[in-house]
Every structure is written in C-alpha cells, then in structure tokens.
Structure 1
Amino acid sequence: MPISKLEFNQLNRVLDEHTGIRLNFNKADIMASRLSSRLRSSQCSSFNKYYQLIISPEGKDELDVFVDKMTTHETYFFREQVQFEFMYGYLRQKKSRNVPLRAWSAASSTGEEAYSIAMVLDDLFYSGNWSVTGTDISPTAVEMAKEACFALSTVQKIPKKYRRAYCLKGTGQNEGTFTVNKSIRSHCNFCVDNLLKLRTVDYSFDIIFLRNVLIYFDEAKQNKIIDNIIHRLNHGGLLFLGHSESLRKKRPGIELIQPCIYKKVRL
C-alpha cells in the first residue's frame, strides 16, 4: 500500500517525538514496507488509520511495535571484532582492580552487543566484579535481549572459546536456538531508555559502546547524545563508535586513540 506525504509526515512526527529520529521523505517506501504487516495485523485500512491508532490510548502497545519496527537495525555478536580485541588488551592491565567495572551498550537492540561485551569481561574478570547495562529505545528489543534466545545460525560469529564457555544449545521446543549461560546473564541488565533524554542510566561507566546509532540523527541531536554519553564516561574510560562514525566536534578531555575508539583523559 502506498503512503502519502501527509501520512508519512504524521508517522514521522510520532517517530521523532518518541525517538528523536526524523526521516527524509525519500525513506517513505521503507516506512511503508516496514509497517505494511502492522496495518494488516491491526486491521487498519490506511496509514492514516494506523496513525490514529498509535496516538490513541488504546494503541499504546501498538506504539511500542511501531517504534520497534522503525528503529531495529542489524546487529550480531562480536560485530567489528577488532574493537573487542582492543578492549580485551586495554582492560587486561586492570585485572587487579578492586572497584566494579561497568560497561554500557547504549543502543543494545536485541542484546548481541551487550552479551559480547559480557563474555570478554567474564574472561578477564572472572571473579565477577563487573556488570553490563544495555539500553534501547525499543521495548520489544529490550524484552528479546532479556530473553537471550538467539538463532543457532548466528553462533558462528562468537569466538570458539567463548562459544564453549558461555553458550548453551537449545533442545526440544528450543531446537535451532541457543542462549548464554546464567552466569553471564546475571551480570547483564537491560532497560528501555532514550539517548536524548536518559532516565534510567544515572551512574558512570568504564566502557561505553555507542555504535551505528549516531548516523540516524541530525548533527544537533548527535551532539546532545554524545554529551550525554561522555558525561557518563569515567576518567580513563573508553568510548567505542561504529566504523562509519566519529566525534565531529572536538571535546576537551576526549582523545582519539584508535579509529572510532576514544579515551577520556581528564574529567
């Protein structure tokens, strides 16, 4: 079903209000494609009717689905593996730390990135003095991250030693899937949050992954998100961006140490 410019603008306004993402009209076909199944499921005869549904009190659950459909992006375990290898080498010097080490997957989607971080931290700090927080704008994605049930076909992205140590193959009704073990999951916490107006993340981190998310925002919103992130990065902490992203504006106390990897050198 084609989407009119008015309908696109209506839905785009809702997307902007709830996520900060605003699409150009050249993305109209993508929006229509992602939402076509939701129109059928919710028995809406047009995108305008769907818009009316998601702004109504009765459409709160469908609004969550709308956000998920429009914000879920590609993710997989150990994406850009060189960054995990750098993190491992950097943190290896800090094994004797007595204070907890905190990591944040700031756009965690369905959890693959957060659990990848967790495997590395458990390998380094097996005494358990670490934690990983995962946040995402999509309630659906957050629930999937908590459930930690992944297609078995994706396990090959995980290094062999971590597959053996942390991954459990599903059986019976869970055949064709795998999960991460309870020990890893006990150190991971997932919640819904908006990077433009953070509510749940009120402490600082030694490691922050903010990858493949800035590209969806305009420059002003990018700067606001980065400021929110850097404010929550500890002295000596690392910030990881996606391979096509960078800090456009130079910020005092933030030093580029590898492509797309920054260190907070002073408060």
Structure 2
Amino acid sequence: MEEMTRVRSRIDRSGEGVYVQASTLGSLEALTEFLKSPAVNIPFCDFSIGPVHKKDVMKASVMLERKKEYATILAFDVKVMPDARDLAEESGVRIFVADIIYHLFDQFTAYIKNLKEEKKKESAEEAVFPCVLKIMPNCVFNKKDPIVLGVDVLEGIAKVGTPLCIPSKEFIDIGKIASVEINHKQVDMATKGQKVAIKIIANNSDEQQRSFGRHFDMEDELVSRISRRSIDILKQNYREDLTTEDWKLVVKLKSILKIQ
C-alpha cells in the first residue's frame, strides 16, 4: 500500500506526461522513482501494472491533443497485447518496451530528439533569428537586384532566410538574407562579432527590391524583422539554439518593432 501511495504521489500535477506500465508494483515504483529523479525528469500522468492492453493505449492517447510527445507508453518488463499495438499504430501512440529502465529512457529521449528536429524542419521558414547588422565602410558591393553588403554582426545571429528592416527609416523592409559568406565561403549563419558579406533579395517575387542609396544608407542599422509568430516558434522549437544574449535581443527588438 505504501508503494502505491508513493507512486501516486509522483504523478505530475499538470496532468501532462507519459503513461507508464510495469510488471509488478515494485518495478513500477523503481521506474517512477527513476523518471522523477532530477537528472531524468520525465513527467508521467498515469500508470498500470501488467501487460499493455487497449485501455492503456486509450488512456495514453489523451496526450495526442495536449502534448504529442507524451502520447507514449513506457512499458517496463511487460508484454504488449496485439490489439493494443494495433490501436497504438492507428492512433499515433508510441510504445517503448524494455526490461532495463535505462533502455526505456534511451528510447524515449531519442524519440523526443527526433520530434524536435522534425518540428524545426517544419517551422524553419517561419523561424526568424534576432540580429543587428552594421554596414562596413567601403563594403557596398551591389546596390540592388540583389543588394550585396559587407556587414558587422553587432548582435545576434545573421541567418540565411532572415527578413531585414531599417528601424531608422520607419521600419522599411529591404528583403531577406539570401546568402552569407565568410572569407568567400558560404555559411548558413554568422554570429556576434563576425564580419561577413550578405546578399539580400526581395522577400517574394511580387515585392519590389529595395536599393541601397535610395531606401537606406551607410548610417542605417539593419535588424531582423521578427514577429509575434516568429518569437513563438523560437520559444517552441529553437529555445536552446539561442544564447541568453540572443533572447535579450529578441526582447529588445520586440520593443523596437512594437510587437505585442
């Protein structure tokens, strides 16, 4: 009875988490204690003892609408009934089975990592990283179609695909970064302190390309055109890709661009 009480006390109060299953109460306690340890910290919302049945899959499927990665059953030293496996495949619930707790952990963390990478790929076009760029003297290589400039990355991350605007010119949009070069070698991004050449093209085929000298000049800083949507995407899928300084820049640009 005490073991069951301890297991129940470990259920995550948020109501979100994986579903755990074990062969015995003792095994269940060992598994849940492991999951709640600070080094692991995987929340669970419900549990059962014995083989995985359809009812267990149905309980785990509740997370599909709340937090997809938690629509998962961690089955420790138990069998999965054929009809339960069929239902899991149909509904999208993942079942991981192992007779060693650490193996369950490895399977689940690998799954989470893959999910994160998928989300990054799906949202890549909408993810706008924060940056502030300063045009370097004598580094205007082409004024329009496309604009090619040598810039100093004053803050943040200058990444291919980043839309740019000019705060000092009423936030006029000048296009997006089509390429970044360091020492004549193309790279995906440049970070604070690096001096790079960037090519800027129109954001879309219907948009007229802005030009250096007419729409902006040497004194104007270029900043990434972040939005409420792009900030949310960074928080959801790219949180670990940004440093503390980068996040401070997001807050700064949010204020400059008057984003709610």
TM-score (structure 2 length as normaliser): 0.31
Q: Which has the higher helix share?
A: 1
Which structure: larger Rg? 2
TM-score (structure 1 length as normaliser): 0.30
